[in-house]
Amino acid sequence: MAFNLFLDTSGLFSFLIKNDDKHKDTSLIINKAINSGKHLITTDYIVDETATLLKSRGYSYIIPAFFDGIVSSKACHVEWMDQDLFDITKTFFIKFKDHEWSFTDCFSFVIMKNAGITEAITKDEHFREAGFTPLLQ
């Protein structure tokens, strides 16, 4: 299966939280993508960050449905970190140690590069710095 869009933490959060400043934009992007047959991809690290962000911002009650929905989603594939991906991401992270990119960012960039994805549903400017197009700017 070919993937067309990467779904980052800020995009997931915006999609889930109706009073987020980018909720409408995110919902439109995701619904348009799904309706046009596009496939989304994210990572287990993004799922982790999103659950932690939901909890820290007082949305713990959403977490069970979030976990159930993201794991069973037919619209969004979760790529799981394994030893090979860890080693590739570690090398990438060290190579670009002069950037403020997190290890999670680097894992996202590795997945995007491997899948040939150029656009991310994110507010994170680090994606632009890494050569991708953040769609929630």
**What ranges do the domains of the chain cover?**
5-134
Tokens of 23: 């909720």
CA 6, CA 135: separation in Å to the nearest integer?
10
Q: What is the pLDDT of residues 23-38, one digit of tens each?
A: 999 999 999 999 999 9
Q: Which fold has domain 5-134?
A: Rossmann fold (3.40.50)
The length of the chain, given as a count of residues: 137
Q: What is the pLDDT of residues 20-73, one digit of tens each?
A: 999 999 999 999 999 999 999 999 999 999 999 999 999 999 999 999 999 999
> Which pTM value belongs to this model?
0.95
**Strand partners of residue 61:** none
Please list, in sequence order, all residues whose beta carbon lies within 8 angstroms of the beta carbon of residue 17, skipping any fewer than 6 positions away. Answer: 23, 57, 59
Question: At residue 128, what is the residue type?
Answer: R
Cα torsion angle, 47, 82, 131, 37, sign: negative
- With contact defined as beta carbons under 8 Å apart, do 63 and 19 qualify? no
pLDDT at residue 1, as a whole number: 64
